[in-house]
Homo-oligomer: A and B are copies of this chain.
């Protein structure tokens, strides 16, 4: 059993090599999924009182630690990449089967369930975890003066639309996020005007 657990723990080291679209806030390189997951777990500890509903904090933290592991095989799909999202579910399902499948059966089941619950966004824990997962890139982008928004021609309208579901997990964090977005647009980090395609003219 320890053998299988160690094989899994060695395998998930690969999450440290999966690159995201946002840069870290204090350095000139892209963030990876492992450090992103750590940051989200810290956000859960610090912001737990902002959740709309009573939450089981351990469950939220577990979900956040586990939620991106499937990207070891499936890769990071950029939030605004419509094409990438077409087969995202299927790629991630196969990844979950392979990677969680390295574990002893009871733990394989536990991680599978945590990941499915996170993806379904139906429980208070999954909703809150998902809100943090949306909020964190906003904080990064605001801090980095919109670098990844500009690189991908993302506009204020797109950011508001994509992120309004933060309110499902935390109304207060959604209020905060809207203030961040408005401030970013004000300061020119994020484009306000869009043409008919929704992209910056």
Binding site for B on A (CB under 8 A): 2, 5-6, 8-10, 12-17, 24-27, 31-32, 34-35, 37-39, 41-43, 45-47, 50, 57-58, 61-62, 65-66, 103, 107, 139-140, 143, 172, 176
Which residues from B are CB-within-8-Å of A6? Answer: 139, 176
Q: How far is the CB of A170 from chain B (nearest CB, A)?
A: 11
Given contact pairs A16-B35, A17-B27, A27-B17, A9 touches B41 in the complex (Cβ within 8 A): no
Give the CA-CA distance A193 to B54 in the complex, in Å. 58
Which residues from B are CB-within-8-Å of A38? Answer: 15, 34-35, 37-38, 41, 65
Give the CA-CA distance A38 to B66 in the complex, in Å. 10
Given contact pairs A43-B9, A58-B58, A65-B42, A26 touches B17 in the complex (Cβ within 8 A): yes
Q: How far is the CB of A73 from chain B (nearest CB, A)?
A: 13
Q: How far is the CB of A4 from chain B (nearest CB, A)?
A: 10
Which residues from B are CB-within-8-Å of A10? Answer: 25, 139, 143
Give the CA-CA distance A6 to B17 in the complex, in Å. 27
**A25, A47, A50, A57, most chain B CB atoms within 10 A:** A25
